[in-house]
Structure 1
């Protein structure tokens, strides 16, 4: 089906109508050819009339930081969970005196073994609480040691040992 071009439609604009049977087309054909050439010419950086666009906030790429605070929190809490699971597997179901997270960090006191689902639930809850409190208070810790320290305090409090 053929749709007749209409100059009011933006996809038909600018609309140049050529009527070969009418007189005077030769007079305006040079202007039409110039306009078509201008609109369809290939633009490159060597053309003089091209304006170089300066980057704006909308066109700049976002800076990629090493890690976001949420990523650091996620990674640090996963490391703590892995340490607890490893300590529990080495104890072979026996009592644990505590899980050390490293020098300068708190020890997690666990009196009986916890399953991985329970630890993961506590981890998810901690991350949600930290994210919610960062909206109204200080931002979440951006380094792994602070995140581990906060998570250890949270676990000791939730497990009834803190």
Structure 2
């Protein structure tokens, strides 16, 4: 259920801490741990570090994949660890909202390292890669080019702040520090998750049949309205919905663009509030909704 977000600059020990936490929760508390790796995802999508971080579209795809995996795994009786740079505060906020919607606890691990030391280790990785002759490359030791390294370290990284609710509780750790795994366990398992609100609450699950009927019913009504509009009809009646009439005021103002917008709004509303209704009642609701949205 808990989500742990690892974030930090290049070669600061993110993966080392992620593996340390995975081992701790599995061996000490017998928890199932799902470790989602940014580097593994980059390779899974057929990219490498340089091509990913220098191409905004590739990087966006990687972030989208990581986020969807985290959301898919969150909510089960397990620990989800997201191992990556996670350098954008807005992205961390989106993950916070996802865990909040799942009524899950969360914390952030910020790995800190002195820039020259990190670059020295990266140069060592470059040397090891050049000397590698057996072709067995570990994705976790793939080096950064200097351009990407400096961009992620000096330009792009948005440092987490414990005063931001989406970064808190925040655990900052340097390579020589001992990670306080017991404190991390306590904040994840001994406190209540933040209550979900309207901005993070997931809509109720709906059946495929409901969505199909909802789409067909609203499309049929909208088509009838537009056909009547072409013939300058004063109002529109629906024999299948006795007593339901699209009123003159709406017919006077409606056009295909705003009708499409209203239909989309109704679909969203119906999926959240009327997933157990039958098709006939949905049609009546849609007609009532259109009449109520008309304003002079």
| TM-score calculated relative to the size of structure 2 | 0.27
| TM-score calculated relative to the size of structure 1 | 0.48
| Bigger Rg, which one | 1
Higher strand share: 2
Higher helix share: 2
